Amino acid sequence: MKEKYRLKDWQELPIGGVVADGGNSADYETGTWRTSRPIWHGENCINCLTCWIFCPEDAFILKDGVTKSGKSRKEIDHINYYHCKGCGLCARECPVNKKGKRVAIEFVKEEH
Amino acid sequence: MSKIVAITGAGAMSECMRQINPDVVPAFPITPSTQVIEDFSQFVADGRVDTEMITVESEHSAMSACIGAAAAGGRVMTATSSAGMALMWEMLYIAASMRQPIVMTLINRALSAPINIHADHGDSMGARDAGWIQLYAENNQEAYDNLIMAPRIAEAMNVRLPVMVCMDGFIISHCVQTMQLEDDDRVKAFIGEFASTYPVLDTDHPATWGALDLQDYYMEHKRALHMAMKNSKTVIQNVSAEFADVFGRKYDLFESYRLDDADRVIVAINSVAGEIKEVIDERRDAGDRVGLLKIRVFRPFPYAEIAAALEGVKIVTVLDRSESMGGYGPLFCEIRAALFDAPERPLVYSRTFGLGGRELFMADIHDIFEENKRYLETGTVEKTADYLKVRGG
């Protein structure tokens, strides 16, 4: 995760709101928008990657893993809270959550 | 060769644009600024300038094209009046906020309705908060000189703001006066080469213009614009001093006319200052201690400098040639604010005149000085704000 995004003073800004360095939207901390946060419970996760597909901010970070039968696959590693804006799509679409017996992605109020 | 010419105010502006030879001129002609673009388009057609002229379908498009061309990296000029500038409104703010050093001749004309083509300052005064530097001129020479200085002011790296060069419609734009037309080469040398900032056409250094600002940055960008406006005050003074060295005519943020030892002063903008000076000369000959403070720079407004210039004055009559419906006139508000902290605050009152081109004659100006003489003697102003020469009072 990146360091806490520091908002610049007016003296530091490029003239006229110009964006002088292309491709810098990843620097933007959409995490400040969050009023609720998803919490990922790895012990209940089946690594279907539905959350990763749905996440509009690409906040689910993957790692390399293997299935029980030894096949290589991608698995959820963690949630990047710098970019997670707390929309809750992941918790809503999670098939484990939908079954109702266990919770793989909990969605709780952000504590400020 | 520098020469004395007889020319209209609008003609002087197009001659100046020819001398500046801007990269792009997007324009949509409107009375009374039409001649500026008409003459300039002839220069383009005759190959006397290298300018790319864009004949757009509206003023909104004209200013949009100005912004695009300036962001692309060109020196850009245009001209308009009244309803034309009203249609540019949205883009005026964008030009300033995107810090594009566009130079625009604004020939002041009343806003509709009823439709009227004659001079008042409703158009430029309405745009005073847009972030444009505003220079005003009493006559053709001043308007021409302001336009020569405008690119230097706009393009200064600690300013980078659009400049509006204003003059009164018809009274100045269409009246022939003699003035000094400077040598083309000297004008070009004074203005120098255009330097762009983050030009869009520089594909080796891609930049995005006009991106979104949310609650987190909008205010900082506006704060920076305000600072640029404050910086421009010194730049205007420096450029004016350099202009005086090169061309011999002196300008400052405002003109003080016989202000030393004056008790009673009129503050005014643009062409009416000519008549006021004549009246002051007559009254001074008769021993009356009267003077004029003529605004040249309305944005940025020189509060402290004006307060210092009016020190010792006992009564100030502010002449507003525009109206803020339900409020005081814009010039009056600024002058009162400038004088509020004065150690000996003079009486200050407002008179609105000349809307839609109604003339103010020398006899009327004598009446103003008689009126403020009476107020000074009694120590009270009868009405803080009132009209001059409106039927029914």
Residues of A with CB under 8 A from a CB of B: 7-11, 13-20, 22, 32
In this structure, are B81 and B203 located in the same domain? yes
pLDDT value of position A47: 96
Identify the residue whose tokens are 């421009």: B232
- Predicted complex ipTM: 0.88
CATH of the domain at B121: 3.40.50.970
Helices (H) then strands (E): counts for chain A: 3, 4
Q: Which domain holds residue B258?
A: 254-387
pLDDT score of A1 more than 70: no
Domain shared by B77 and B26, yes or no: yes
Q: What is the per-residue pLDDT for B214?
A: 87
b/e string for B288-324 if b means 16 or more Cβ within 10 A?
Answer: bbbbbbbbbbbbbbbeebbbebbeebbbbbbbbbbbb
Question: How many structural domains compose chain B?
Answer: 2
All domains in chain A, ordered by first residue:
31-109 (3.30.70.20)
Neighbours of A80 (CB within 10 A): 16
Judge: B99–A15 Cβ closer than 8 Å, yes or no: yes
pLDDT score of B133: 98
Determine the residue of chain B that is closest to A9 in CA distance.
Answer: B220
With respect to residue B393, please indicate whether it lies within any of the assigned structural domains: no
pLDDT value at A95 more than 70: yes
Query: What is the residue type of B149?
Result: M
Q: Which two tokens stand for residue B94?
A: 């964008």
* Beta carbons of B207 and A17 less than 8 Å apart: no
| Residue B355 placed within a domain | yes
Task: Give the CATH number, domain containing residue B377.
Answer: 3.40.50.920
Cβ-based contacts under 8 A for chains A and B: 56
* Cα-only R_g, chain B: 21
Banded model confidence at residue A3, pLDDT cuts 50, 70, 90: low
Name residues of chain B where pLDDT drops below 50. Answer: none
Q: Do A17 and B100 touch (CB under 8 A)?
A: no
A19 min Cα distance to partner chain B (Å): 5
User: Do B213 and A17 make contact, defined as CB atoms within 8 angstroms?
Assistant: yes
For position B340, what pLDDT does the model report? 97
Q: Same domain, yes or no, for B79 and B182?
A: yes
pLDDT score at A92? 97
pLDDT band, very low/low/confident/very high, at A4 (cuts 50, 70, 90): low
Chain B residues near residue A20 by CB distance under 8 angstroms: 198, 205, 207
Residues B330 and B276 reside in one and the same domain: yes
